[in-house]
Amino acid sequence: MHELVHAYLLNLYLKDELVSTSSDYEDLLNAFITFYDNMVQDTFNTLDNEWHNAMNDFVDKIGETIYAYAQENNIENVDLEYCKNLAWGTMHGNEILSESEQDNAENIIITEQNNTEYAPSYLVKGTPCE
């Protein structure tokens, strides 16, 4: 779902509808323009940061979708907050969460991606995909 949001925002930019969708995307629009004018690592890093900052609008919905999936598939000991942390865990280095909130979210995503307890406070909730 994370990558779908990237695609959605890129599509809005390419159709020249990004800022008309939300004035909050002004910084993202400027980052897109700067990157496409000068495709180097620095402008990509700025674009990537702004992309993830814009995803703040979508994290709750992504978390709710993960939670609905967990409920439908009888994954135990999962609550909505855990699922929102999974969504946040994919957005490294964003400017929205505090450092401790980001660390917590990243530890949860590492636990689930590796299907291994990262620390005693980060227990695996799902089962490995085959």
User: Mean pLDDT in each 10-residue stretch from start to end of the chain (130 residues)?
Assistant: 86 86 83 93 90 83 92 90 86 74 84 76 70
Residue 93 belongs to a domain = yes
Verify that 35 and 77 share a domain, yes or no. Answer: no
How many domains, the chain?
2
The predicted pLDDT at position 44 comes to 92
Q: Which residue has the tokens 């809005």?
A: 12
The predicted pLDDT at position 80 comes to 94
Give dist(CA 109, CA 49) in Å, integer: 19
pTM over 0.75: no
Phi-psi region of 8 (alpha: psi -120 to 50; beta: other; left: phi over 0): alpha
Verify that 78 and 103 share a domain, yes or no. Answer: yes
Verify that 19 and 42 share a domain, yes or no. Answer: yes
Nearest to 84 by CA among 57, 66, 68: 66
The predicted pLDDT at position 98 comes to 81
Q: How many residues does the chain have?
A: 130
Verify that 17 and 38 share a domain, yes or no. Answer: yes
**Structural domain that includes position 40:** 2-54
